[in-house]
Amino acid sequence: MNYVDRLGQNTYTNCIQGVKTVAVSGHIRPDGDCVGACLGLSAWLLDRYPELTVDVYLDPIPEEFLFLKHADKIRQENEDDVVYDLCIALDCSDPDRLNRASRIFEEAARTVCIDHHITNQGFGDRSVVCPESSSTCELLYYLFEDGRLFGSGEFSYDCAQALYLGIVHDTGVFKHNNTTLETMTAAGKLMGFGLNTEKIINDTFFRKTYLQNQLLGKALTESILMLDGRMIFSALYQKDFRLLGASEKDTDGIIDQLRVTEGIHVALFLYETREGDFKVSLRSDEAVDVSQIAAEFGGGGHVRAAGCTMTGNMHDIVTNIATRAEMQLIDYQQARDLYPEPTQDI
Ligand code: 5GP
Ligand code: MN
C-alpha cells in the first residue's frame, strides 16, 4: 500500500492553525525512532512557524543521539506546569508510555498521536496510526511531504538527519522486513539533503562501548536454548550491572544478537530494572507474532519486535512466555504441514 492510500482516507487539516505552544513527546526509554521523530517534527515546525513555542519532553536520551540539532534542549519535566495548546505523541503505542509527559498530554487543549505500532488503538483528538510504516520517522516523512497536517515545504538538513536516523534504527539499517519500497524512497530522498549517512549509521547504530560488549558477552555466554532450539533466552540482573559498573542503557543490541542465532524463531531478553521487576524484549521471525504475547502481559509493539514489563520470578516469567510462543509455533508447524512450501523438483 502506498502513502496516497495510507493517508488518503483521512481529511487532514493543519493542526498548527491557531496554536501558539506545542509539546512533543515520545515513549519511555526513547530509542532512535522516538528521538528522531520528536526532533524531526520540532525542526519541521520551527522551520515553518518560527514564532511557535515547541518543547520536546523525553526521558534522558542515549548519548549517541545528542549530536542531533536541539537534542540539548530536550526537557524531562514540565517545571512551570505549562498547559500547551497542542501536544503531539510520537512513536508511542499508548498514552501511559509517555511516562512523565502523560500529564502534559492529558492537559493540553488539543492532542495528536502519530505512530506505527500495531498494538496502538489510537488515542487523542486525532490519531494517525500506520502499522505498515517501518518507523514513525518514515510516517512523518510522508506526512510532511503531504503537507496537510503540519504545513508544506522543503526539508531542512536538521529535519532530514533526524528522520533518517529514526528510519535507520527501526529497520535495523534497512534489514528488517518492515523495510519497503516506500521506506527506501523516503530514506533516499532524505539522503539527498547531504547527510553523512555512513557516520549516522556507524556512530549511532553499530558502535558499542567496551562495557556494552562486555554485557553482550555475558548475555550470550549465559543464554539458554529452549523449545528444541527454537527459542533462546537470556537475562541480566541488577547484580550483573553492579559487577561490571554497567547500566540499563548498556543492554542495547543484545536482543538483536540473540535473534540471529541459527534455528531460532523467538528470542527473549530480560533485564532487571529493580529487584523482581523486569524489562522484557521479544523478537521473532515469520513463525510467531510477539506483539500478541507482549500485549497479553500489558505491553505491545510490532509483530516481530515487542516488549513489556513483568514482575515475579524469572522461572515463571520465562515459562509464561515460552508457553505462548510454543502454542504459536505449533500452529505455524501445522500450517506448514498442511501447506508445505513447494520443493525444487515440482
Ligand atoms: P524493545 O524490545 O526494543 O524495548 O521494544 C520493541 C518494540 O516493542 C518497540 O517498538 C517498543 O516500542 C515496543 N515495546 C517495548 N516495551 C513495551 C511495553 O512495555 N509496552 C508497549 N506497549 N510496547 C513496548
Ligand atoms: Mn518506532
Of the pLDDT bands very low, low, confident and very high (cuts 50, 70, 90), residue 270 is very high
Distance CA 158, CA 305 (A): 28
| CB 166 near ligand 1, within 6 Å | no
Ligand nearest to the CA of 290: 1
Lowest mean pLDDT among 8-12, 61-65, 77-81, 311-315: 8-12
Q: Which carries the bigger pLDDT value, residue 122 or residue 3? A: 122
CA distance 135 to 179: 9
Characterize the bridge pairing of strands 110-115 and 126-129: parallel
| Confidence at residue 339, expressed as pLDDT on a 0 to 100 scale | 84
pLDDT in tens, 14-25: 999 999 999 999
Instruction: Name the band, by pLDDT with cuts 50, 70 and 90, for residue 5.
Output: confident
CA distances from 271 to 90, 171, 248 (A): 25, 23, 8
More confident position, 337 or 173: 173
- Whether ligand 1 lies within 6 angstroms of the CB of 26 is answered as no
Ligand 1 within 6 A of 321 CB?
Answer: no
> 307 CB less than 6 Å from ligand 1?
yes
Q: What is the pLDDT of residue 343?
A: 65
Confidence of residue 4 (pLDDT cuts 50, 70, 90): confident
Burial of 95 (0-12, 13-18, 19+ CB in 10 A): middle
Residue 172 CA, distance from chain mean position: 11
Its pTM stands at 0.93
31-40 mean pLDDT = 98
Q: Give the C-alpha separation, 104 to 95, whole Å.
A: 11
341 pLDDT tier (thresholds 50, 70, 90): confident
Q: How many CB atoms lie within 10 A of CB 100?
A: 15
- The residue whose CA is least distant from atom 12 of ligand 1 is 301
Ligand 2: distance of its center to the CA of 116 in Å?
6
Which pLDDT score, from 0 to 100, does residue 192 have?
98
Ligand 2 centroid, distance to 26 Cα (angstroms): 10
pLDDT of 7 reads: 76
Segment 253-267, tens digit of pLDDT:
999 999 999 999 999
pLDDT class of 3 with cuts at 50, 70, 90 = confident
C-beta of 32 in contact with ligand 1 (< 6 A): no
Residue 49, all three cell numbers: 512557524
The stretches of the chain forming alpha helices (DSSP H) are 3-8, 32-48, 102-107, 136-146, 157-170, 181-191, 197-201, 210-221, 238-244, 254-259, 290-296, 314-338
Once rounded to an integer, what is the mean pLDDT over residues 287-291? 98
Q: Which mutation among 59, 96, 97 tests ligand 1's pocket best, with the greatest number of atoms within 8 A of CB?
A: 97
Contact of 1 with 64, CB cutoff 8 Å: no
Q: Which ligand is nearest to the CA of 135?
A: 2
Query: Are the C-beta atoms of residues 312 and 276 closer than 8 Å to each other?
Result: yes
pLDDT band at residue 279 using 50, 70 and 90 as cut-offs: very high
Mean pLDDT of 49-62: 97
pLDDT beyond 60 at 346 = no
Among all bound ligands, the one having the nearest atom to the CA of 277 is: 1
Question: Mind listing the pLDDT tens digit for each residue in 100-118?
Answer: 999 999 999 999 999 999 9
Using CA atoms, how far apart are residues 18 and 294, in angstroms rounded to an integer?
A: 40
d(CA 204, CA 134): 18
Cα separation, 326 vs 279, in Å, equals 21
Around ion ligand 2, residues with a beta carbon closer than 5 Å are: 33, 91, 135-136, 170
**Averaged pLDDT for residues 240-249:** 94
Using the predicted structure, report yes or no on whether residue 72 has a pLDDT greater than 90. Answer: yes
Q: What percentage of the chain has pLDDT greater than the value 70?
A: 97
169 lines ligand 1 (CB under 6 A): no
Helix 181-191 to helix 136-146 angle (10° resolution) is 70
Closest CA to 304 of 341, 332, 266: 266
Side chain identity, residue 71? A
Ligand nearest to the CA of 284: 1
- Cβ proximity of 321 and 268 under 8 Å: yes
C-alpha cell at 304: 516481530
Q: What is the pLDDT of residue 8?
A: 67
Q: Atom 2 (ligand 1): residue with closest C-alpha? A: 281
- Residue 120, all three cell numbers: 496502538
Q: How does the average pLDDT of the chain come out, rounded? A: 95
Q: Which three cell numbers stand for residue 107?
A: 492537559
